[in-house]
Amino acid sequence: MEEMSGVSAVSSALPAATTRTTSFKGSCPSSKYVKLNVGGALYYTTMQTLTKQDTMLKAMFSGRMEVLTDSEGWILIDRCGKHFGTILNYLRDGAVPLPEIRREVEELLAEAKYYLVQGLADECHAALQNKDMYEPFCKVPLVTSSKEEQRLISTSNKPTVKLLYNRSNNKYSYTSNSDDNMLKNIELFDKLSLRFNGRVLFIKDVIGDEICCWSFYGQGRKIAEVCCTSIVYATEKKQTKVEFPEARIYEETLNILLYESQDGRGPDNALLEATGGAAGRSHHLDEDEERELIERNSLRATLQDNLFGRPMARNETKHIQTANNVTILHNNFPGKSVFCTVFNTFPTIKIFMNT
């Protein structure tokens, strides 16, 4: 039974051993094992395998070429041993699975040519031609750090769309439709990346602090953001809700195309101003959204402290006045809990009922 063993060896230790040349002509039966040292990688195989096909190895071990051996009987071959095991397997079986990485196929092709293994060289040539035909149409970077994200955005001459999704960031249970909406956001990102490939840089982020959030960048800075998650307050527990604002995402993606470079000259400022996409306006919109987010979080904290601090009695009503002039009424009726939020904004009063 034939077997091959590859063990790493330190090639720098080889000069200490004495070497000599020898010939294998008629001196070894076909079943005899041969010890090979190929660039420091050690292999065991048989004369039958080495002389099975008409290759340079057959010439070496049939007496037509002299070989170099050390004092321990290892036959020395001055080549990289990384792919020599694949060469031996091809000699044994007549076929081998090729590497999936193009660079490694090219390395294997070089070794096949050196050892004159023509069949393997032909297969490598064919595989490289096929790989040229099936190069990825769209490549989406997956960022692993904030520095990497900033470098990609700042060095790109294209507008950028980033989707951050990290389901493990949630500390509450999800609502029933959240998982489906998360998948819809990911599917839409893939569709947009194919549709606008070459015009927009698309980035995926799976290590951020949000659960599902879209960010849109132009000229190296954030232009807009669409957060798809919110906390839903129920009577006894909180849940995380993931939404799928498809129309808003499409709108912001189309808006970000306004920041596309025109023939290498940057975006058309006249077009930005005419469509309301000027830098100053987008910046103020971000500030308003950030202020709204702070107020919303403050309101949520007040709800948590005042409404969920203790169980409410039946038919009890709570009146809460928050710092931002918002009145919250909580009525605990039998079988139903009703939240009434009153925004005291002059000159009108807006009331939202959530059951």
Look at phi and psi of residue 264 and say left if phi exceeds 0, alpha if psi is from -120 to 50, else beta: left
Q: Is residue 182 part of a domain?
A: yes
**What is the tens place of the pLDDT at every residue in 61-109?**
887 778 888 888 889 999 999 999 999 999 999 999 998 888 889 999 9
> What integer best gives the mean pLDDT of the chain?
75
Sign of the CA dihedral with 161 first, then 167, 168, and 171 last:
positive
Residues 109 and 158 reside in one and the same domain: no
Omega before 97 within 30 of 0, i.e. cis: no
Give the domain-ending residue among 262, 288, 304.
Answer: 262
Residues 146 and 258 reside in one and the same domain: yes
Identify the pLDDT of residue 305. Answer: 52
Q: What share of the chain has pLDDT > 90, as a percent?
A: 30
Give the domain-ending residue among 240, 262, 284.
Answer: 262
Are 170 and 240 spatial neighbours (Cβ–Cβ below 8 Å)?
yes
Q: Is residue 123 part of a domain?
A: yes
**What is the tens place of the pLDDT at every residue in 136-175?**
667 888 888 888 888 889 888 899 999 999 988 888 888 8
Which tokens hold the place of 174? 């999800």
Query: What strands lie across the sheet with 348-354, from one edge to the other?
Result: 316-321, 326-333, 336-345, 348-354
**Position 132 confidence tier, pLDDT thresholds 50, 70, 90:** low
Report the distance separating Cα 49 and Cα 93, nearest Å.
9
Residues 104 and 148 reside in one and the same domain: no
Residue 328 has pLDDT above 90, yes or no: no
Q: Is residue 289 part of a domain?
A: no
Q: Is residue 227 part of a domain?
A: yes
Number of domains in the chain: 2
Q: Which run of H or E residues covers position 68?
A: strand 67-70
Q: Is residue 169 part of a domain?
A: yes
Identify the pLDDT of residue 329. Answer: 47
Residue 350 has pLDDT above 90, yes or no: no
Specify the higher pLDDT residue, 329 or 81.
81
**What is the tens place of the pLDDT at every residue in 177-198?**
999 999 999 999 999 999 998 8
Q: Is residue 330 part of a domain?
A: no
Report the distance separating Cα 141 and Cα 94, nearest Å.
39
Burial 277-286 (b: 16+ CB within 10 A, else e): bebeebeeee
Identify the pLDDT of residue 96. Answer: 93
| Structural domain containing residue 240 | 142-262
Identify the pLDDT of residue 12. Answer: 39
Residue type, 332: N
Give the domain-ending residue among 75, 103, 129.
Answer: 129
Residues 111 and 173 reside in one and the same domain: no
Q: How many CA atoms lie within 13 A of 268 on its CB side?
A: 10
CA distances from 73 to 7, 41, 67, 160, 279 (A): 16, 15, 11, 61, 75
Residues 258 and 215 reside in one and the same domain: yes
Q: Is residue 352 part of a domain?
A: no
Which tokens hold the place of 69? 């051996």
Residues 106 and 37 reside in one and the same domain: yes
Residues 38 and 113 reside in one and the same domain: yes
CA distances from 276 to 162, 222, 271 (A): 22, 16, 8
**What is the tens place of the pLDDT at every residue in 222-266?**
999 999 999 888 767 888 999 999 999 999 999 998 888 766 566
Identify the pLDDT of residue 269. Answer: 63
Residues 151 and 106 reside in one and the same domain: no
Residues 103 and 152 reside in one and the same domain: no
Identify the pLDDT of residue 270. Answer: 60
Query: What DSSP string describes 257-298?
Result: GGGS-STTS---HHHHHHTT--HHHHHHHHHHHHHHHHHHHH
Residue 321 has pLDDT above 60, yes or no: no
Identify the pLDDT of residue 306. Answer: 52
Residues 154 and 236 reside in one and the same domain: yes
CATH number at residue 243: 3.40.30.10
Q: Is residue 252 part of a domain?
A: yes
Residue 135 has pLDDT above 60, yes or no: no
Identify the pLDDT of residue 102. Answer: 84
Which tokens hold the place of 325? 């002039």
Residues 95 and 49 reside in one and the same domain: yes
CATH number at residue 84: 3.30.710.10
CA angle 87, 88, 94 (to 5 degrees): 80
The pLDDT of 310-329, averaged and rounded, is: 46
Residues 122 and 150 reside in one and the same domain: no
